[in-house]
Amino acid sequence: MAITEGRLIMNGLRSAVSKGKRGRMGTVETSASTRKRSKQAVKEEDTTPPVPQSSFHTFSDPADVVQLRSQLLSWYDKEKRELPWRTLALAESDINIRTYAVWVSEIMLQQTQVATVKEYYKRWLKKWPTVQDLAAATIEEVNQMWSGLGYYSRGRRLHEGAQKVVLELKGRMPRTVDDLLKQLPGVGRYTAAAVGSIALGQVTGAVDGNVIRVLCRVRAIGADSTRPTVTEALWNLSNLLVDPERPG
């Protein structure tokens, strides 16, 4: 009986070992099969053609660009407002004074309506007609002049920028959009583009909320305009629509 029981135990062990081997082999086969299917899936994904960008979002025909430029300028010529900084930009031959004056207007227009800015702008230019005049002023004088306009940090940045131009740039206002952006405090992408196009005649678009709404409607753009890729696409469209003969 002991021998018989021993044989039974050995047979049981052999059976268990055999089942274990088959189980492990099955696992290995399953893993190998999974890896093979994954590789096939990746290969299939790699060969999937990219989805083409909709032509609705761009200008595929140069004639469309020319036509829209003409329409925008015709509308502007008919509907434009008389603004003191634009009048000065057209009449002033001194590029330094012109750039300074438009820079002041664009900083004032941040978060403030045009109707409110007009009178402040006239008083400001009467007191400080050049960047050198502003640099020589005290911060107390600047704050007093700014009183009632709100967001006093804008006035301080104008004062700081004027002092930087005089002390570090030898009194010479920046001459390009990139330099305006890099060298003047409080100047962002839109402000630099606006000053560059109006005062310096640079062929560059300027994208604000109004421009975003128009471009999104004209080019059927429904994506979130704050996404970096969408923002860049809107700037590219804006740049494309600027007439080189009349950038500002």
Q: What is the pLDDT of residue 170?
A: 96
Q: Give dist(CA 94, CA 115) in Å, integer.
A: 27
**10 in a domain, yes or no?**
no
Q: Tokens 């595929």 identify what position?
A: 60
**Domain assignment present for 165:** yes
Residue 239 buriedness (CB in 10 A; 0-12 / 13-18 / 19+): middle
Domain extent for 115: 63-76+84-241
pTM: 0.75
pLDDT exceeding 70 applies to what percent of the chain?
A: 77
Instruction: Report whether 51 contacts 224 (CB < 8 A).
Output: no
Q: Is residue 141 part of a domain?
A: yes
Please check whether residue 31 lies inside any domain of the structure: no
Q: Considering the domain boundaries, does residue 8 fall inside one?
A: no
Instruction: Find, among 170, 169, 101, 171, the residue nearest to 179 by Cα.
Output: 169
Which parts of the chain sit beneath pLDDT 70? 1-56
Structurally, how many domains does the chain consist of? 1
Residue 106 annotated among the catalytic residues of the structure: yes
Q: CATH code at 200?
A: 1.10.340.30
Tell me, what amino acid is at 147? S
DSSP 148: T
Q: What is the pLDDT of residues 147-193, one digit of tens each?
A: 999 999 999 999 999 999 999 999 999 999 999 999 999 999 999 99
pLDDT at 28: 37
Instruction: Tell me which of 79, 106, 140, 245 is the catalytic residue.
Output: 106
